[in-house]
Structure 1
Amino acid sequence: MPGAGTPPPVPSGDGNPFAAPGEPVPPPPLSPEGPGQMPYGYQGRPGYPGYPGYPSHPGYAGYQGHGAPGYGWPAMPMAPANGMGVAGLVLGIIAAAGFCLWPLAIVLGILGVVFGAVGRGKARRGEATNGGQALAGIICGAVGIALGVGVLVLLLVVPDEETDVGTSRGDPGFSATVVVGRS
């Protein structure tokens, strides 16, 4: 703090007390768009009668504030619809792994092929991102169908050995009679 006897700073000719006397003050910096140009979407807000308008927030192009119409956030992209491909893969794997349960394997294999084909179509249209999973569902579903049909044919063609054993050898099987021994 200057003492009581120190005179206050003398402003230069342009009114700037911090500039050296007689030196010109540089102009304020300009924006990259040039002087007076506003960035895209920078509209400000209108003022009240008799008062000037208020500019938008300088850091956010298009910011209108307090409910004024303007530019909002861009829409979020749609999430990929991968459910059909995943369902086809899961059903195809269950059909191929559970081929011993041939009726269930055939039904699940058909569903796996159908869901996999629908998922593959969505992937081709760009609605899904799992075309490989959908193709694997088609393949596993087809394998499950083939194995289920193979087990069905095996059960129908191969003769049952339990019923043929007793009649082919002449053995009547077990007897329910009791043999009493001599004493």
Structure 2
Amino acid sequence: MPPPPIAPDGPGQVPYGYPGGPSAHAHPGPQYPSYAGPPPAVNGYGWPGMQPAPSDGMGTASLALGILAAVGFLLWPVAVVLGILAVIFGAIGRGRARRGEATNPGVALAGIICGATGIVLAFGLFAFAVAAFA
């Protein structure tokens, strides 16, 4: 048998035995401890006292640009620009690693080395081309 309809001015007292009535809460069943969830976040990020994630992007970008500069030195203008960017990003990445904001100082150093190598190879190719065809 369905429960009685709700009156236009709101529900009245629900009779005994209908869902939500007095017998619905008579035997609530086993009680389990409630999980309150994690503590409130500090500054909106993670757990209180948790360190922010390392920002390793500059070191990684330095290595990627350095490899492109060293491998693509035949396109010497592009290699020089990529090499300069690799050295700059590598220096920024090493600075972040020194301050503890990043965890990849070796990757940033490798980017500096590859970028400098790309610059030297590009200028060497340019000097060879000038000397050979002049």
TM > 0.5: yes
Query: What is the correspondence of 1:49-128 to structure 2 with a 5 Å cutoff?
Result: 72=40, 74-75=47-48, 76-128=50-102
Distance in 2, Cα, partners of 1:142 & 1:119: 15
The structure with more helix, counted as a fraction of residues: 2
**Bigger Cα Rg:** 1
Aligned to 1:159: 133
Which 4+ residue blocks in structure 1 deviate beyond 6 angstroms? Answer: none
CA distance in 2 between counterparts of 1:105 and 1:159 reads 21
How many Å separate the matches in 2 of 1:100 and 1:139? 18
RMSD: 2.3
- Paired residues, number: 96
* Residue identity opposite 1:111 in structure 2: L
Point out where structure 1 has 5 or more consecutive residues left out of the alignment: 1-57, 64-70, 161-183
SS of 2:133's equivalent in the other structure is coil
For residues 26-64 of structure 1, what are the alpha-carbon distances to aligned partners after superposition, in whole Å with 9 as ceiling and x for unaligned?
Answer: xxxxxxxxxxxxxxxxxxxxxxxxxxxxxxxx898xx6x
Deviation at 1:72, TM superposition (A): 3.6
Provide the rounded CA distance (Å) in 2 between the counterparts of 1:72 and 1:120: 33
Structure with greater contact order relative to length (CA < 8 Å, sep ≥ 6): 2
TM-score normalised to the size of structure 2?
A: 0.64
TM-score, normalised by the number of residues in structure 1 = 0.48
- 1:82 & 1:72 partners in 2: Cα distance? 27
1:115 is matched by which residue type in structure 2?
Answer: F
